[in-house]
Amino acid sequence: MAKDWEAALAIPQNLVAVGNAAFRRLVDDVVRRAQENASLGRPGLIPRTGKLRKSITKGPYKQWTPGSYGEQRVYSDLIYARVHEYGATIRPKRGPYLVFRLWNFSDTDRPTGPWRRARQVVIPPRPFLGPAAKDATAHWPEYVRDALEYIGEYIGRQLP
């Protein structure tokens, strides 16, 4: 009888555990999908080094109060990750033109193409994190169901 009460009293904590387990699986899935997106490239982008893909990670899990839900960030600390996600306009700091050399895609070690001048360069957005989060969120019910099954099995093992 005491075991039944203990299991019943543990239900709120178990529900929080279900939410947290499902959330952590969601975050892992977002990281995996974002890395896939970065390695596949986007229109106009041919990945060369894989640095962007390798830089996508998750921050520490923060739970603000015991028994509550927490938060976790998925991010890349590379300077150009934000440019790829949201796009940017690059303007010259000194002088009227940007001067740069184009990449010859047969040689990926260094730019060897012709030199160009431009007043500005507009880099279109090539999102990799946003679509990954959207795709992974579509699987949220599956993550919750799996976590509920796991917790249910755990509670079942605790009962006589």
- For residue 138, count CB atoms less than 10 angstroms from its CB and return exposed for 0-12, middle for 13-18, buried for 19 or more: exposed
Residue 24 predicted with pLDDT over 70: yes
Q: Given phi > 0 = left and psi -120 to 50 = alpha, else beta, which region is 63?
A: beta
Please give the Cα distance from 101 to 153 (Å, whole number). Answer: 61
What is the structure's pLDDT at 90? 92
pLDDT digits (tens, 9 = 90+) for 103-156: 776 666 677 788 999 999 998 888 888 899 898 889 888 888 888 887 777 666
According to the per-residue pLDDT averaged within each range, which of 9-13, 79-83, 112-116 is highest?
79-83
C-beta separation of 24 from 72 below 8 A: yes
Q: Is residue 12 scored above 70 in pLDDT? A: no
Q: What value, to the nearest 5°, has the Cα angle with vertex 23 and ends 131 and 40?
A: 30
Which residues have a Cβ under 8 Å from the Cβ of 64 and sit 6 or more positions away? 70, 71
Q: 117 near 99, Cβ under 8 Å?
A: yes
pLDDT at residue 89 in the model = 95
* CA 150 to the chain's CA centroid: 25
CB 14 within 8 A of CB 151: yes
What pLDDT is attached to residue 141? 87
Q: How confident is the model at residue 42, as a pLDDT?
A: 62
Q: What is the pLDDT of residue 86?
A: 92
What is the tens place of the pLDDT at every residue in 28-72? 999 999 988 887 766 556 666 788 889 999 888 777 666 666 778
